[in-house]
């Protein structure tokens, strides 16, 4: 195989394997050190956020609409029983993500209702007899992550959410098992080839869907299918350079896939409606198994899957929650908090949702929340005191300085004194949002 062919193959392998490596690297980080407002948690135990995210947190694009409860799952010790308490009318979701970042099941307000529920989570290939066959979730890989999001309207709502979190229970169906955890890559592999070593080890431990395994065979010349000792220890320089060059090319391909198109209408909000539709093999409870939510072309799905893992790891399908963002006003000028912007929704043009909608502003380039003495980091249909326009519409104000007039102040979302990026989130978006017929209005600079 020539060096250009080897580099091209390595680039393809990076795109293919990035979600597995990125997702399990994040999972390992979470198990051992926590993540943002979440403390660390061992496998098959929940970690609960006890407060909403704030400007002090260094997690980019932190979500202040919900409190998270996350459990790393390891089903090598056997099935796990999941008990969910009665949730009441407020929005929540428990999302299941496998090692390859496929969203394979949902429990929650949209998917399964708000009554108390008990589910059995089983590993691939399990042949037991469940008590209730309709309450079984089959994980595609033995390791997965359960991401819970509970709507939290503000500090006064924290006791309700914490009570729900406390009611989440994970326990083994048969006590006494031992979780295997993540197999450790060879620590002696040089850093420039560490990606391929992780991919080699974790692919063997957590095989993908059967149709993907045929595609994987083409990566044999890269050493990704080698069992036993790592082929990347003491690798010959030419081979190492070819793999490193291909890795860089693959990384650039993924970065390009996450960038918005340069040619777009001024002020357009960009929503990735189908970024998470790459799972076509494991569609369990709560997923929508229909053509519009499946990427039919597997090769295209590999790049979409990698872009989703890069831009929004563990994000949900758009039919569960949809986000849209922009960085410019209606005239195509970059947004800057030194200016005053309005976002006006006509009386019949509010975001269509079955749960709620919310707008958050993040400073650039770090995508952190904007400090505000009043603690307002988002504004939406749950925000108390919003003032409607005379015709019944709603005008929001985004700027650094608090507006002087009472109406502007009531509808104000603080922005940094510099570049910023607003993100609109729609929870349980309506059909008009999902089919693209609803468009968010652009921001206008006053």
Domains of the chain by residue range: 1-319, 326-445
Strand 136-138 vs strand 117-122: parallel, antiparallel, or unpaired? Answer: parallel
Q: What digits encode the pLDDT tens for the residues 178-214?
A: 888 999 999 999 999 999 999 999 999 999 999 999 9
Task: Please give the helix or strand (H or E) that residue 341 lies within, else none.
Answer: strand 341-345
Please report, to the nearest 10 degrees, the dihedral formed by the alpha carbons of residues 11, 17, 22, 23 taken in order: 160
- Residue 166: how many CB atoms within 10 A of its CB? 12
The predicted-structure confidence for 265-324, as pLDDT tens digits, reads as follows: 889 999 989 999 999 999 999 999 999 999 989 989 999 999 999 999 999 999 999 999
pLDDT band (50, 70, 90) for residue 56? confident
Could you report the per-residue pLDDT of 372-408, keeping only the tens digit for each? 888 899 999 999 999 999 999 999 999 999 999 999 9
The pLDDT of residue 116 is 97
70: closest CA among 17, 146, 135, 121? 146
Exposure of 71 in the CB half-sphere (CA atoms within 13 A): 21
Q: What is the average pLDDT score of the chain?
A: 95
The answer to whether the peptide bond before residue 365 is cis (omega within 30 degrees of 0) is: yes
Task: Report the alpha-carbon distance of residue 302 to residue 101 in Å, rounded.
Answer: 11
Question: 1-319: CATH homologous superfamily?
Answer: Domain of unknown function DUF1254 (2.60.40.1610)
Cα–Cα distance for residue pair 348/416, rounded to 1 Å = 30
* CATH class name, domain 326-445: mainly beta
């Amino acid at each position: 195989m020539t060096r250009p062919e080897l580099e091209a193959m390595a680039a393809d392998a990076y795109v293919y394997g990035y979600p597995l490596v990125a997702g399990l690297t994040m999972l390992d980080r979470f198990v051992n050190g926590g993540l943002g407002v979440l403390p660390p948690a061992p496998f098959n135990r929940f970690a609960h956020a006890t407060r909403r995210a704030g400007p002090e947190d260094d997690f980019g694009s932190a979500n202040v609409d919900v409190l998270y409860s996350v459990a790393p799952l390891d089903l090598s010790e056997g099935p796990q029983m999941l008990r969910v308490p009665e949730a009441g009318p407020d929005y929540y979701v428990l999302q299941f993500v496998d090692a390859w970042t496929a969203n394979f099941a949902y429990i929650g307000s949209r998917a399964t209702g708000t009554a108390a529920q008990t589910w059995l989570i089983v590993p691939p290939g399990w042949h037991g007899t469940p008590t209730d066959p309709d309450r079984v979730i089959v994980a595609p890989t033995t390791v997965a992550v359960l991401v819970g999001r509970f709507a939290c309207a503000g500090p006064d709502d924290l006791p309700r959410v914490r009570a729900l979190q406390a009611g989440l229970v994970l326990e083994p169906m048969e006590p006494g098992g031992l979780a295997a955890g993540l197999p450790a890559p060879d620590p002696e592999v040089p850093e420039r080839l560490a990606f391929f070593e992780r991919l080699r080890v974790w692919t063997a431990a957590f095989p993908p869907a059967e149709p993907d395994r045929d595609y994987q065979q083409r990566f044999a010349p890269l050493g990704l299918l080698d069992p036993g000792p790592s082929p990347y220890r003491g690798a010959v320089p030419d081979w190492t350079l070819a793999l490193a060059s291909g890795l860089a090319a693959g990384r650039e391909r993924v970065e390009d896939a996450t960038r918005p198109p340069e040619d777009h209408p001024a002020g357009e909000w960009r929503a990735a409606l189908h970024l998470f539709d790459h799972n076509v093999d494991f569609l369990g409870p709560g997923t929508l198994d229909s053509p519009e939510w499946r990427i039919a072309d597997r090769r295209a799905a590999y790049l979409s899957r990698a872009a989703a893992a890069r831009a929004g790891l563990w994000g949900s399908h758009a039919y569960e929650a949809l986000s849209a963002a922009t960085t410019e006003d209606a005239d195509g000028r970059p947004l800057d908090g030194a200016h005053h912007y309005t976002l006006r929704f006509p009386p019949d043009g509010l975001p269509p949702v079955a749960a709620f909608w919310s707008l958050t502003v993040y400073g650039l380039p770090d995508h952190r929340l904007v400090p505000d003495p009043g603690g307002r980091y988002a504004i939406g249909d749950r925000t108390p005191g919003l003032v409607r326009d005379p015709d019944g519409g709603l005008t929001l104000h985004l700027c650094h300085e608090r507006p002087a007039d009472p109406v502007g102040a009531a509808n104000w979302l603080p922005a940094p004194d510099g570049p910023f990026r607003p993100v609109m989130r729609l929870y349980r978006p309506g059909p008009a949002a999902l089919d693209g017929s609803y468009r968010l209005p652009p921001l206008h600079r006053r």
